Amino acid sequence: MRSMPHNNSDEQPKKIFTVTDIATIGVMAALLEVVKVALQSIPNVELVTLLIIVFTLYLGPKALIAVWGFVGMECAVYGIGLWTIMYVYVWPILVLLTCLLRKYKSQWPFVTLAAMFGLFFGAMCSIPYFFMGGPATALAWWVAGIPYDILHGITNFIGAAVLFTPLTNALKRIRNSVPD
């Protein structure tokens, strides 16, 4: 019988998700849902975009799990609809874009990202309409929502400009106080 190579070191294999990651992801997903529900009565004012940006800066691509947890909670609360398709790809796009900008130390690339994300949210959400009714349907749906997208971009800019630094500082303090 052949024996396995013996590892003399005390090193354990690196875990993809630590217990802290799992708990953090759960809290982040719940926080996304709570913040969305808390602000849903104010049209096109939301903090989900900003929180996803900040969570991605904290967790990197692992933030995708929190985003999909949030989408799952949205489906549980509101049921499944066309918007579900949009949420499944739109929020991960934000995680990807944030990961690409992680090298920047200033808040302004992220504030700009939040504003642009709000401004183009309707355009990104028009994609299912393209497949359902063709380019004219997608364009009509997007154009009809442009005034709301403008408001969305402006409110995302203001929210991110005011809250980005306090939120990132809070997460840095949390990271420094939690053992690995």
Q: What pLDDT, in 10s, does the model give residues 138-168?
A: 999 999 999 999 999 999 999 999 999 999 9
Tell me if 13 is assigned to some domain: no
CATH code (residue 147): 1.10.1760
Does 68 reside within a domain? yes
Residue 1: inside a domain, yes or no? no
Confidence band of 180 (pLDDT split at 50, 70, 90): low
Pair of tokens at residue 37: 């529900």
Buried b (16+ CB within 10 A) or exposed e, 109-135: bbbbbbbebbbbbbbebbbbbeeeeee
Give the pLDDT band (50/70/90) at residue 2: very low
In a domain, 119, yes or no: yes
Assigned domain for 11 exists: no
Average pLDDT over residues 34-53: 96
**What pLDDT was estimated at residue 14?**
74
Of 1 and 178, the one with more pLDDT:
178
Q: Is the pLDDT of residue 179 over 80?
A: no
| Residue 78 placed within a domain | yes
Amino acid in position 15: K
Range(s) of the domain holding residue 142: 19-177
Number of domains in the chain: 1
E-strand ranges in the chain read: none
Four-CA torsion 81, 86, 87, 93, nearest 10 degrees: 170
In angstroms, rounded to a whole number, what is the distance separating the alpha carbons of residues 162 and 68? 26
Q: How many CB atoms lie within 10 A of CB 75?
A: 15
- Work out the average pLDDT over 75-79: 94
Residue 7, domain member (yes or no): no
Any idea which residue has 């393209």 for tokens?
130
User: Considering the domain boundaries, does residue 73 fall inside one?
Assistant: yes
